[in-house]
């Protein structure tokens, strides 16, 4: 009987963890996921670009095991960085905390550390970078698979 209660308790905990992910609009069952930069804005009105008109092309691939790879193509040069991601909730906002394994020029943040944040929009269909909070460009991503 104790063994049966232990198994039921474990199953209950696991189902709660899965429902938490679903409540946040993200499911680990849908990995890998690729998110591509589709729009970039500047700090002044009218400084928006899309597609090939952007300064660079960029994507994130989120893999099982909570790992990710970020790739940026700029002036025919490809730079890649990788690390671990964590699903986060910050008040009303839900997104990813990305912790890079190494320093890289493609880490888009307001500090000099190896952490980057991406947040879902309300419909959970696009991500936006947090770099524009400190005068960086507004970066907007759409899921491609």
pLDDT tens digits along 53-72 = 999 999 999 999 999 999 99
77-90 and 67-74 as β-strands: parallel, antiparallel, unpaired? antiparallel
112 pLDDT above the threshold of 60: yes
What pLDDT score was predicted for residue 5? 33
Q: Do residues 18 and 113 touch, judged by C-beta distance below 8 A?
A: no
Q: Torsions phi, psi of 136, nearest 5?
A: -80, 175
* CA 39/CA 92 separation, integer angstroms: 23
Record the pTM: 0.80
Instruction: Scan for tokens 């002036």, then name that residue.
Output: 75
């Amino acid at each position: 009987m104790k063994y049966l209660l232990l198994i039921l308790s474990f199953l209950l905990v696991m189902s709660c963890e899965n429902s938490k992910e679903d409540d946040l609009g993200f499911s680990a069952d849908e990995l890998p996921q690729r998110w591509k930069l589709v729009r970039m804005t500047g700090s002044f009105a009218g400084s928006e670009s899309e597609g090939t008109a952007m300064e660079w092309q960029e994507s994130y691939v989120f893999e099982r095991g909570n790992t990710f790879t970020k790739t940026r193509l700029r002036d025919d040069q490809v730079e890649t960085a990788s690390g671990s991601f964590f699903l986060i909730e910050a008040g009303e906002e839900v997104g990813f905390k990305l912790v890079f394994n190494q320093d890289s020029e493609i880490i888009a943040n307001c500090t000099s550390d190896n952490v980057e944040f991406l947040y879902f929009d309300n419909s959970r269909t696009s991500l936006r970078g947090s770099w524009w909070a400190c005068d960086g460009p507004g970066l907007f991503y759409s899921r491609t698979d």
